[in-house]
Amino acid sequence: MTNAARHAHAKQLSVQVGRSDGNYLVTVEDDGNGFDTSQPAPSGHFGLQIMQARAKHIGGTVELQSAPGSGTRITLMWSVEERD
């Protein structure tokens, strides 16, 4: 959320938490500047790599959607087995 304000200059940010098809989801979406996801991260910027590593650690994935001028949406998805 800090990055959305600091780097993307977002004015609005939403966080949604839910469950779908046996998976848990957390989606963070902003109306900021957005960026070209096909380009490598600028030198010294590791935020997305760290998010992906943390998601992998819990058996999850991170999905990123962004485009210049269109904001950014990041979704963390992971599965947690139900316990009796």
Read off the pLDDT of residues 22-76 as tens digits, 9 standing for 90 and up.
899 999 999 999 988 887 766 666 678 888 999 999 999 999 999 999 999 999 9
The CA angle 76-80-82, to the nearest 5 degrees, is 150
Q: Work out the pLDDT band at 5, boundaries 50, 70, 90.
A: confident
Q: Which domains are present in the chain?
A: 2-79 (3.30.565.10)
Contact partners, residue 37, CB within 8 Å, separation at least 6: 64, 65, 66, 67
8 Å CB contact between 54 and 21? no
pTM: 0.81
